Amino acid sequence: MSTSFRVTPWEVEGLVNYDRLIKEFGTKPLTDELIEKTRELTKSDLPLFLRRRFFFSHRDYDLILRDYEEGRGFFLYTGRGPSGPMHIGHIIPFYMNRWFQEKFDVNLYIQITDDEKFIFKPDMKFRDAKMWAYDNILDIAAVGFDPSKTFIFQDSEYTKIYEMAVPISKKITFSTAKAVFGFNESSKIGMIFFPAIQAAPTFFERKRCLIPAAIDQDPYWRIQRDVAESLGYYKTAAIHGKFFPPLTGLSGKMSASMPETAIYLTDDPDTVRNKIWRFALTGGQATVKEQREKGGNPEKCVVFKWLEMFFEPDDEKLLQRYEDCKAGRILCGECKNYLIEKVQGFLKKHQRKRKIMEPVVKELKYTGKLAREMWDRSIPKELS
């Protein structure tokens, strides 16, 4: 296993050693006990994200479960930086959020950081970030959230967020922001301020906030946790996801700048077939004969990883496939075809839902119960 990898909110490089990330980020592993406790409290079968440790690390998730158990409740917060079309790796964490919302019956806030993407991407126009915000929100809405308990907002539009970011921004020194995010003399002042904007939604309610998101966003929450209590709020909790690997290998994240590494939510069935067929890295042997004799390496296979992480919810079938591969009973082409069908099926359903999302987006952003409350409210007294 490679020992050289790098994770910041802007880049994920190399083959990620998740155990080491837990140590480096100072988070805690998501234990069997916590997962079992989640099952008990929700009285539900666990989703594969938890069963298979797609979420593997956390901060204060134990306190979230305690707050829920003791009737204080909690709320969910997640987000998306709209820099381009969404791919499969982007949408998966939203399914985890949906599961949490459904099972715990809690509010969910989804921040679309068009300001961030515009400020951090040198060549991006503000209007393009806003256009992608619109586009991405259609995809997110298609996941299917409770419109009375979900609020999706774009920073450039829900500018009330600025009022709430101000008291947070009074608590964070340049030196802290620099240490956490690596800012320097040529960082733009908008970049330096942005951590306050991203932290603001954790103060939307007086309950504890749970953020299910990929672990690369954790530095933002570390800053929130430094200042929250001095503002009269809880430190936010987080549950950290792994990265959905690119088609081309198990290292790094899918990247919009390398379209062959990703399946986009807008890809048609032929494109899906071509991409998986041509680019997906498997753990197969060089020849059919060798594969039959030695068996494959599902641990090194992106096709198997995609099935494991999202596309094969049936544990028994997954295990069977693992053993068949190891034993040389199936060939890579068969697995690829299986994944192609699964992905095509998922996208067909997604694209059909996305088409009719416009009225739903209106509810989620403006007219739903939670959305209306958020547009009408003032900032909490504690922050004033």
Q: Which residues bind its own copies (CB under 8 A)?
A: 115, 118-119, 125-127, 130, 155-157, 159-163, 165-175, 177-178, 183-190, 192-193, 195-196, 381, 383-384
> Phi, psi at residue 59, to the nearest 5°?
-130, 120
Tokens of 74: 């909690």
Nearest approach, Cβ of residue 222 and its own copies (Å): 15
Counting Cα atoms < 13 Å in the Cβ hemisphere of 5 gives 21
For residues 317 and 142, what is the distance between their CA atoms, to the nearest angstrom? 27
Q: Are strands 237-241 and 208-214 parallel, antiparallel or unpaired?
A: parallel
User: Which residues, listed in sequence order, are joined to residue 209 by a DSSP beta bridge?
Assistant: 75
Tokens of 247: 């088609």
Between 181 and 243, name the residue whose CB sits nearer to its own copies. Answer: 181
Helices (H), 17-60: 18-25, 32-42, 48-51
Query: What is the 8-class DSSP label of residue 76?
Result: E
Between 293 and 382, name the residue whose CB sits nearer to its own copies. Answer: 382
C-alpha distance from residue 176 to each of 170, 195, 275, 348 (Å): 12, 11, 43, 46
Nearest approach, Cβ of residue 107 and its own copies (Å): 22
Between 220 and 304, name the residue whose CB sits nearer to its own copies. Answer: 220
For residues 68 and 203, what is the distance between their CA atoms, to the nearest angstrom? 18
Tokens of 66: 């305690």
Between 193 and 279, name the residue whose CB sits nearer to its own copies. Answer: 193
Between 367 and 384, name the residue whose CB sits nearer to its own copies. Answer: 384
Nearest approach, Cβ of residue 15 and its own copies (Å): 34
Between 199 and 335, name the residue whose CB sits nearer to its own copies. Answer: 199
Nearest approach, Cβ of residue 178 and its own copies (Å): 8
Nearest approach, Cβ of residue 234 and its own copies (Å): 20
Nearest approach, Cβ of residue 370 and its own copies (Å): 19
